[in-house]
Structure 1
């Protein structure tokens, strides 16, 4: 009451009454008195068969009905009853409340619809991957392993990599850029994003998914999942904090972190990974692009072979294949692959031999230059081997390590792996046995392939010198897609 004047009630007809009413058996007149005498009462209504209803809290979800409904009496101050626009004020209040509820309902519906669409999209992506594999390869693989592969959505990966910011970029390969990311649960990941400008496409992407999803070995990088959305193709791998082998091996500031025991452990780990690919996995895999940048290192500098975009699956009785489309990295290709398009297990063995000599020498084959003889790294290793001066090939950081005989044995194995002819190279089971000293006496190495740089051969030819040079073509092929 204000100055002796009691509050009144404003009548709203045919209304849906609010929730949370307090009911009583009072008749219509006494119902009004109950509300008037209760300072907390904000509205009342009376309906035959229901009785008296009063509301002491906020009036939630009231609206006018086109027919039926109940008369609702809203409590207002006495002076407000004389205002002509009181009805308009109350009606507008009701309309605003209805609009607010409608907006909340709309956004709630949108949120649930988006969540449902994301789940359906994930199912479709899983199905598409399975169908893509069925169309992609006739080889026998484990479809259950493929279906278990996690499918990430684009928003999740964008958030994990901070919208693929340059600061999170780990490197750039032939496939495209690789970014470091962090999932909501705190797990660190490496996101490999297919570049539309790269020479590789859907086939290489699906090839990598299909191959590595069916492989499990401690010396192979682990694929966590993939993303096929918004015309984006991405692979999600376990994150390797020490990045790739080349970032240590060819960096003057970090080379010293690789003493001989660590290098030998890396050599043996790579050989075990290749042995698994060639012989021990259910699938026979030829990697075709083994090189230092495709060897990742974990916290303890253990090696993991990565990048299976160019890998090929061999059938049970298949021992080689041929292609007119040469892909790979110059300096690591075997001669029969670079010049004739033929590849086999022994092609990977050749690449492993090049990589082994790089690890021992700390020098990169593709950028190696010897002014006096214009030799490749393979040619320089062969010259020093014949001169009984192998120690000059060895990285000075490890030459005084006390493992001289073990290092020389590795050079011998490396030279055997890079032989000119396929039949002269050992297979990976033999290589592993040689490295573990299970085979005591190693066979004599012959002159390896690609020993002399092209410039040296051209000079020799122009001066009519009758030198016998094996594999002087260190191969520039117009169809080759260098990485």
Structure 2
């Protein structure tokens, strides 16, 4: 490990009962509220049906798909703004007035650390929330189910700070209660920055349950009273810190046993070897332990968490998308009308676009290839395409694009492959973007 277990344990013992207070750096203080978002509005069911292609199954982005009690869809409004639409179970929120009051209150929040609520819909039995769409998956996906690289230590610390800042903002606006804070509630925007989903600021259903059925991660006072308090949110933040430290979803009771036994090496993600010092590891463990105190009054508040997490930040000059290893939102290629048609597999629309472009197939071709030249070129083209397909399956998009570009240049002598290339490019771009 990059941090020796003995050093980590000794540091933990010396700091276990003492809070570490660091002055806030002015340039790291929370930015002003977001001003470029539209005001909260009410949508119709028809508008949201159009935006989500009729609540199509392929647009579901929530964890358990269409089997979840409340399903989240991705969509796009008429102005091309991307949205996430949470559709509640028909038995949820029977009191429409209560739903509207809650939604409007949450919709007043505007912050760059939140996936902000843009609107809602309340028609008949339908209860829907509309939020900013975050295209780069959840923390759970990047932390527990990563495919290309484990999340770096610097990024894990950034997640902890940004979520703490989101909670501090919500608390300052009178919305201190957050329901079931976990790795699925944290999503990543176009820049790769983590944001806290606004959906957790509203109760999950009419029975007011604030946590999932997994009792191992539930605050002890919630099990006793069935009520969520601001201190309960801090307990959940402690479980989140354990997730970030271990790379696994470890029950708090087990983690606290490891801490008491000074077996911190078992608690730390082996993928983080060499990435952090013993002091940094000790501080994160100490913060998690404070959040997980049995007595709610002994837990910290969001403001003190932010103050403790700011000095721990690493590689602050490196953008989040670079730390995450994901394409930058500004670098993402938007699809042309032809690409959009290919993405939908709409042959009629593809034909119309090609007609407007003056597509003439191979009419008037001035030259023809000899049979030998043609077969050699076709073999080279097929080899390039195969390499591109392999790279694409392994999510090596840079290599895939290079190979597909070779295919395009090899095919340049024949206009008759335009449609095939359009389909290929549209498919590639729809997966990249």
Instruction: Tell me which interval the TM-score lies in, with the shorter structure as reference length.
Output: 0.5 to 0.7
1:73-96 CA distance string (max 9 Å, x none): xxxxxxxxxxxxxxxxxxxxxxxx
Matched, 1:336 2:225: no
The match for 1:262 among 155, 166, 169 is 155
RMSD: 2.9
State the shift of 1:325 in Å: 5.7
Task: Show the counterpart of 2:109.
Answer: 215
Task: Show the counterpart of 1:226.
Answer: 120
Q: Distance in 1 between matches of 2:51 and 2:208?
A: 36
Q: Distance in 1 between matches of 2:226 and 2:122?
A: 31
State the shift of 1:382 in Å: 2.4
Task: Show the counterpart of 2:232.
Answer: 347
Q: Distance in 1 between matches of 2:223 and 2:94?
A: 19
State the shift of 1:167 in Å: 0.8
Q: Distance in 2 between matches of 1:241 and 1:257?
A: 19
Task: Show the counterpart of 1:248.
Answer: 142
Cα 1:335–1:228, aligned 2, differ >3 Å: closer, same or farther? same
Cα 1:195–1:299, aligned 2, differ >3 Å: closer, same or farther? same
Are the counterparts in 2 of residues 310 and 327 from structure 1 also a CA contact under 8 Å?
Answer: no
Matched, 1:288 2:179: yes
Q: Distance in 2 between matches of 1:264 and 1:163?
A: 39
The match for 2:260 among 350, 372, 386 is 386
Are the counterparts in 1 of residues 143 and 150 from structure 2 also a CA contact under 8 Å?
Answer: no
Task: Show the counterpart of 2:48.
Answer: 157
Q: Size of the alignment, in residue pairs?
A: 268
Q: Find the residue that maps to 1:304 and give its secondary structure.
A: strand
| TM-score between both structures, scaled by the size of structure 1 | 0.50
Matched, 1:359 2:244: yes
Task: Show the counterpart of 1:413.
Answer: 287
Alignment of 1:292-331 (within 5 A): 292-308=183-199, 311=202, 326-329=209-212, 330=214, 331=216
State the shift of 1:232 in Å: 2.2
| TM-score between both structures, scaled by the size of structure 2 | 0.56
Higher helix proportion: 2
Q: Find the residue that maps to 2:179 and give its secondary structure.
A: coil
Q: Find the residue that maps to 1:436 and give its secondary structure.
A: helix
Task: Show the counterpart of 1:422.
Answer: 296
Cα 1:384–1:206, aligned 2, differ >3 Å: closer, same or farther? same
Q: Distance in 1 between matches of 2:178 and 2:91?
A: 23
Are the counterparts in 1 of residues 93 and 99 from structure 2 also a CA contact under 8 Å?
Answer: no
Structure 1 residue runs of 5 or longer lacking an equivalent are: 1-146, 313-323, 366-376, 439-483
Higher strand proportion: 1
Structure number with the bigger relative contact order (C-alpha 8 A, sep ≥ 6) is 2
